[in-house]
Amino acid sequence: MAPETVIVERAEGVVTVTMNRPERKNAANAAMWHELLDAFAAFRRSSSDRVLVLTGAGDAFCSGADLTDPSRVSGNPEDHHLRHMQFLGEVAMALHQLPKPTIAKVRGPAVGAGLSLALGCDLTVAAETARLSLIFSRRGLSVDCGASWLLPRLVGMHRARELAFFADMVPAPEAASIGLINRAVPDADLDGFVDGWARRLAAGPPLALSMTKRLLELGATAPMTDALEAEGWAQTVNFTSEDTAEAMRAFVAKREPEFRGH
């Protein structure tokens, strides 16, 4: 069946996944959580898909989970609260474990679990008028969808506590200045800027980018000895790949390489 709450578009290796409930500021109901999970899985499986861009329809990125949905998160209203949260965790982990680059393109509000999804992407770019908030505490809730893991790594523990405790709405330029997101760009430039980054990544070496993504994740927690060993294995794979050979040929010929992912 065709998705009802997300739009998936493919162009030259770039997959754009658009959360599509603009009448609800793209609040994620059970159908959307399931369809996001399906979209992430399809992107992971495809050898021709190289970059994923996650965004929202209309004037919002995502206003969080739709707390008015009778099906709640898992789609089964009879499930225990814990099962709903476990399913939400599956969606967050599926995004986190994608072996290819991901970019969040944020316009308007990114709130609660919606902000968690944006921060769960490898890169986050927002329009200057975008607003971001971990709204959970204002709803009597604690952070979820991976925010407790993501926030301290992005902005440090003290700033993470401030953002989570007070749940203030943070303008995109301030979010960029504290490292919560990568860039805040003029609203009119958002589509072009993200498209430029996505196309550059799609033209890049898939094997090397995938291993670089994993190495950075490992390096955030592993001792240096383990990081160096992992780097050695990754470079060994690169040096035996056709992509690295192509990069060397292109360098000598003074042309752009054509990477094929093998």
Residue in 219, 202, 195 with CA at minimum distance from that of residue 261: 202
* Cα–Cα distance, 118 to 103 (Å, whole number): 8
pLDDT tens, position by position, 173-213? 999 999 999 999 999 999 999 999 999 999 999 999 999 99
Nearest-10 crossing angle of helices 157-166, 147-155: 130
> The whole model's pTM is what?
0.95
Calculate the CA 188 to chain-centre distance.
Answer: 22
* Cα angle 143-144-149, degrees, rounded to a multiple of 5: 85
CA 48 → CA 42, 80, 101, 166, 168, distances in Å?
A: 11, 39, 13, 43, 40
pLDDT tens, position by position, 210-223? 999 999 999 988 99
Structural domains of the chain sorted by starting position, each given as residue range(s) with its CATH number in brackets: 6-202 (3.90.226.10), 206-253 (1.10.12)
Which residues in the chain land under pLDDT 50?
Answer: none
Q: What per-residue confidence (pLDDT) applies to 67?
A: 87
Backbone angles phi and psi of 170, in degrees to 5: -105, 120
Using an 8 Å Cβ cutoff, are 17 and 198 in contact? Answer: no
Q: What per-residue confidence (pLDDT) applies to 1?
A: 64
Using an 8 Å Cβ cutoff, are 169 and 126 in contact? Answer: no
Q: Rg of the chain over CA atoms, in angstroms?
A: 19
Using an 8 Å Cβ cutoff, are 102 and 122 in contact? Answer: yes
* Cα–Cα distance, 133 to 61 (Å, whole number): 12
Who contacts 193 (Cβ-Cβ below 8 Å, separation ≥6)?
Answer: 125, 183, 185
